[in-house]
Chains A and B, each alone.
Chain A
Amino acid sequence: MSTTNPANETAEMSAIVLEQAERLFRGEITKERLEAADGGAWPAELWAAIEENGLTLAMVPEAAGGVGLPAADALKLLRLSGYHTLPLPLAETMVGAALWAEASGEAVGGPLAIGPTAPGEQLLIAKSGSDWKLAGTLTRIPWAAQSAHALLHARDAAGAGYLVLLPQGSGRIEPRANIGKEARDTLMLDGVVVPAAAVRPAPAACREGMLAAGALVRTQQMVGAMERALDYALAYVMERKQFGRELAKFQAIQQQLAEVAGLYAISSAAADGAREAWGRPGFEMSVALAKARVGEAVNRLTDVCHQVHGAMGYTQELPLHFATRRLWAWREEFGNETHWQRRIGEWACANGGEALWRALAENRFE
């Protein structure tokens, strides 16, 4: 036992944080709480517990006041949060805090919204004396109304990218929701003035806006939710009997579930690729590969998980829908698979057929 080895210490710390999170989520995310969240309630105590456990600052370096877990470990928290369908913006806050720390050297507390979340949407920014002025409307911003800050990507007329940290109450907000019943608000920001301290040049992970960072966290949540949906399906077919035996005994059921277990496995591998690419060259393409693969798998996986549940799975009685509705929402956010597939395809074609293999073998998608 060499507990003095820094690598071991970090691994131990990651394990502890993950275990605490697992315990917290398992204990606190009940059906009642999820139903209340579906109705628009903000589970404030749960959020407080998440902050107390340091989860929101997991990816922020210690020097900037964070917990300083390696990103590849910290992002596992989001897989857990996806598994438990946490009805709170931990993913947005975690990655947003990491980006802001990188851009400004400082940690920011409280829940964070991030955006834009849709390809093609763009916030504009221009100098206005010693301040900055914003122009634009952003849609489908996660929990903008409940968040202490929104961390938004903006561009100036010359095309340079910035991160803008907006306090709650800036501009106008129209509350909306996605089909997971998660808040996805419209932010109207024309004419909003921001002090210079709240505007920083965008870090490398935001070279092309907020989509890659957002897609990274969604892929982690999605494989978590996929695993949950599969777990529900497996448990159900072992319990439910028809024709005198458990559904699990029918080969048609076995074959379908085995097929989607394969889809889950390959999606999980893809999400790992993105998780490990944070801060590395080729980050965007690794995220693209993951969001494309995971997003594509959602349809077949949720199809089978619902099918084996019969009519009961199509109700609010069973918790399956908490996972599947989120999957249907998340696959569209920060670019759906078509968006990312196209990016990948253009990249692959530009490099030519022979070049692809090196990128695959060396896991370097620059």
Chain B
Amino acid sequence: MEAFQFDVPALPADALEAERRVREFLARERAAGTYQPHLSSWNTHDAEFSRRAGRAGLVAVGFPKEYGGQGWSMLARYVIAREMLANGAPCFAHWIAERQSGPQILRHGSERARKLILPKICAGECTFGIGMSEPDSGSDLAAVRTRAVRQGDDWVINGSKIWTSNAHNAHYLIALVRTSEADGKNRHVGLTQFVIDMAKPGVKVRPIYNLAGGHEFNEVHFNDYVVPDDMRVGELGAGWDMVTGELAFERSGPDRFLSDYRLMVELIDRVGTKPDAYQAVEIGRLVSHLSALTRMGTSIAGMLTAGKSPQVEAALLKDVGNVFERELPEVARRIAPVQPAPDDAGARYSETLSHIVQHAPSYTLRGGTREILRGVIARALGLR
């Protein structure tokens, strides 16, 4: 077996500076009570918060200066992200743009797309969505049917996307579409990614409510939507390579083990400074998982900083990170029982638990299901 190695690099100067800045920023936000840490997460959309983070120089710090960034390392970005998560900061308005769409455009977009979009991302003013899944194309992503047909310098798109998180707030999506037929042997050919401007005609968003009643994701319908060729991301037909690269960004971050970190904080405070043996053992167990996950996260950010492409490591981290995220509410309810109620205003622990119990099922679906990730790992092990 390839011995998976998660060496932890020392934080470079830019990451230390990033840590100082983000802590200062979050201390100010929390002192001013701009958001409710126990009820929000990276999945919470708050355009004003993202704008303030952008103004504080905390969004997309890794982008080059010419596009509004600071040219900092992936480790600096990672440190900012994990501090945001540990503080329950509502980051969704800039999260996807910063995590994956922006980096895709930076690497594979046209110069016009870069100049138009990247500075807005860095300013915390630009919200992106991910247009991968379709009604008949979930785990089997290569089955997408939304098509783009060439028309002069443009492409005309027809079809539907589904589960598109935050599409109702998004300025742009990156959509994966068919630009030519799959050949019989290789279904990965003929796919291409485009940047979709949500303000243009021909694209409609309809809400889908999650089980808790929240409006998180959507259906997105394209009806003769026209996109110029210079909004293509990557070579024509290279869409499959594009999405696999993008998924490495999507899977490798602290958002795959810190989604419900605030419950950890609330749980410890609920239990109090004198836990009984059972409570201490279970909290200790969770902390032992978290500390190893934190090391893995830092290590992967170090690999990205060093220009490596840690796709398998990312799948491993998301898998073990999701196990932790799914287990946390279960442990909480056993060692600090409460009847969780969403209307338990003021009873923070109960509110947080109520929120997390209902959202936890999504953790092992979004960004690739547990089973698909384990398939990726199995391939790396040489089993398939």
Interface residues of A (CB under 8 A from B): 227, 230-231, 234, 237-238, 248-249, 251, 253-255, 257-259, 261-270, 272-273, 276, 288-290, 292-293, 296, 337-338, 340-350, 352-354, 356-357, 360-361, 363, 365
Contact = CB atoms under 8 A, between A and B. Distances in A.
Contacts of B280: 341-342, 344-346, 349
Contacts of A343: 284
B35 interface: no
A352 B374 contact: no
B268 A361 contact: no
A324 to B, nearest CB: 16
26 contacts: A231-B1, A253-B383, A255-B375, A258-B383, A262-B316, A262-B377, A265-B296, A269-B295, A273-B292, A292-B284, A293-B288, A293-B289, A337-B285, A337-B288, A338-B281, A341-B288, A344-B285, A346-B284, A349-B268, A349-B275, A353-B268, A356-B287, A361-B82, A361-B83, A363-B294, A363-B295
Chain B, interface residues (CB within 8 Å), range: 35 or more
A265 B6 contact: yes
Contacts of B288: 270, 288-290, 292-293, 296, 337, 340-341, 344
Contact of B285 (A266, A268, A341): A341
Contacts of B267: 353
B374 A258 contact: yes
A58 B180 CA distance: 62
A227 B3 contact: yes
Given A269-B293, A269-B299, 5 more contacts: A254-B384, A264-B4, A344-B283, A345-B275, A350-B273
Contacts, number: 186
A340 B283 CA distance: 11
Contacts of A356: 264-265, 268, 287
A292 B288 CA distance: 6
A61 B111 CA distance: 57
Interface SS, B side: helix
B265 A353 contact: yes
B294 A360 contact: yes
B281 A341 contact: yes
Given A248-B383, A345-B280, A354-B265, A360 B1 contact: no
Contacts of B6: 265, 268-269, 272
B107 interface: no
Contact of B86 (A231, A290, A352, A361): A361
A337 to B, nearest CB: 7
A14 to B, nearest CB: 14
- Highest count of chain B CB atoms <10 Å: which of A258, A290, A338, A363: A258
Query: 7 closest pairs, A vs B, by CB?
Result: A345-B280, A344-B284, A345-B284, A341-B284, A353-B265, A258-B374, A254-B378
Contacts of A227: 1, 3
Contact of B320 (A262, A352, A353, A361): A262
Contact of A345 (B287, B296, B375): B287
A13 B334 CA distance: 50
Nearest to A365: B291
Contacts of B273: 349-350, 352
A289 B323 CA distance: 18
Contacts of A266: 289, 292-293, 296, 316, 320
B271 interface: yes
Contacts of A276: 8
Interface string B103-139: 0000000000000000000000000000000000000
Nearest to A286: B291
With a 10 A CB-CB cut-off, give which of A257, A266, A340, A346 has the most chain B CB atoms. Answer: A266
B167 to A, nearest CB: 32
B381 interface: yes
